[in-house]
Chain A
Amino acid sequence: MNKLKVSIVLGIMCFVLTYGIFLQIKTVENSNMEVSQNYEENNLRAEVLKFKEKYDNKAKDLEKLEKDLEEERKEATQDNTELENEEIQIKKANKIIGLSEVTGPGVIVTLQDSEMNPSNALNISDLLVHDLDVLNVINELKNAGAEAISINGQRLVSTTAISCEGNVININKVKVGAPFEIKAIGLPESLSALERPGGYLPFLEKYSIKTSLEKSNQLTIPKYSGKLEFSYGKSK
């Protein structure tokens, strides 16, 4: 009798576990394997990787070349105080515009989708970090005096929009997904105002979005990865 009971319990456990595995395998297959078998898509994937690599290499070269230009400009202007002054202004402007890498003290804010079981939520959408959440966090950081901001390595410039594209967010034409790591340079004590009661981070926490804020004495924020140029507007 006792043996029978144990066997039944173990049998049920085995069944549950097997069921769990099949469920998982199905999920993985749906999201991954099935897609990879498509010939056309594999070709496209290879193309994307090729261009990504080409872009990365060129971007690295460009960074080097821009340093050369800075040197050249400096050399050309060093004998003339007025020109030297203008050269410094250009360098400073590039830092503000987002055309050169910057370092300084600041904070790192991380936003992560809720880990709560979706079946326990009234609205599944509430468990995710949205474009509007990122936009609001950024606005709060600016309000607290941020001087430079990046989101998952994408530098914010004057033309940067943050838009939702299904389950990812598009920033500077690059797709980024949760967790979002937002770096901001400024006075760390002011920037941490986001954490104060009634601030935006506690608000997100209410929806069980996972947030964290970390102060840092030395942050590096990369330069903008695209081309910044006006084709409609002319200075007047």
Chain B
Amino acid sequence: MIVTIGIACLILACTMFMQFKIVNQTDITSIETMREEELRQELANWKQKYEEVDQQYEEVEEKIEEYKNKKQSDSETAALVKEELEQSNLLLGKTDVEGEGIEITINEAPDNDFSIIKASDLLSIVNSLRYAGAEAISINEERILTMTDIVDINDTFIKVNGQRILAPYVIKAIGNKSYLESSLVGNGGYADQLRNIGHDVKITQMDKVLVKKYNGEITYKYISD
């Protein structure tokens, strides 16, 4: 009698652990667990990514063709290389960029312990702007590059690209101006959060914003050639 119950217990325990394992393995990013709405979004995402890569493929193909055709002529090759280099420098942040966008001016609330703008505030704003598709961003004319860090030095200064900056902060971003603004206002937007604790945040949509280039050398030491 007892032996039988013991065996039953063992089987039950085994089943339970098996179940635990399955639950643990359920991957939350897997499409198996997604519902209709999420799936539709996911599908749109992958479609877009596919189209992007397809378009890129054609462009690279074209470029190869051009190089092949112009091999004989030094001046034509030079023009091609120059064009590619200009594109690289644009993406690197080594050129001034102009275009549609927004300008955000933040004046710190006076005499209030909560009133200091921290590096983390600027970091969140930059992240929101990138989410809205910002192509080029600067804070107090310091260009934000891929590897730019934003850290606190003390209550007055914040370090961006190794340069000290201080309030008032003027953030410029190029991209779709209404997307950019809407990423910061309303529904938990970061500009609203800052306004709520007393900061003065002004956002201006502009048809022409000039984001200055990065002034230093952009180099690397540890990436191998």
Contacts and interface: CB of A to CB of B under 8 A. Distances in A.
Interface of A: 3, 6-7, 10-11, 13-14, 17-18, 20-21, 24-25, 27-28, 31-32, 35-36, 38, 40-41, 44-45, 47-49, 51-52, 54-55, 58-59, 61-62, 65-66, 68-69, 72-73, 75-77, 79-80, 82-83, 86-87, 89-90, 92-99, 102-106, 132, 135-136, 139-140, 142-143, 146-149, 156-163, 167-168, 173-177, 185-187, 225-228, 230-236
Contact of A65 (B64, B81, B84): B64
Given A58-B54, A185-B223, 11 more contacts: A14-B5, A28-B22, A62-B57, A93-B85, A93-B92, A132-B124, A143-B149, A147-B222, A177-B27, A232-B101, A232-B175
Contacts of B49: 55, 173, 225-226
Given A28-B23, A143-B149, A233 B99 contact: yes
A232 B26 contact: no
Contacts of B89: 93, 235
Contacts of B43: 44, 47-48, 51
B99 A234 contact: yes
Sorting the interface of chain B by its residue count into under 10, 10 to 19, 20 to 34 or 35 or more gives: 35 or more
Contacts of B97: 230, 233-236
B53 A227 contact: yes
Contacts of A235: 86, 89-90, 95-98
Given A96-B146, A142-B147, A45 B39 contact: yes
B5 A10 contact: yes
Q: Which 10 A-B pairs have the closest CB atoms?
A: A24-B19, A93-B88, A161-B131, A161-B130, A142-B149, A17-B12, A143-B149, A51-B46, A44-B39, A235-B95
A64 B55 CA distance: 15
A230 B136 contact: yes
B28 A177 contact: yes
Nearest to B62: A69
A200 to B, nearest CB: 11
B104 interface: no
A133 B100 CA distance: 31
Interface SS of chain B: helix, strand, loop or mixed? helix
B140 interface: no
Given A35-B33, A160-B130, A227 B52 contact: yes
Contact of B56 (A27, A77, A163, A227): A227
Interface string B44-84: 01111110111111001101100110110010011011101
Nearest to B76: A76
B22 A17 contact: no
B6 to A, nearest CB: 7
B8 interface: yes
B148 interface: yes
B16 A20 contact: yes
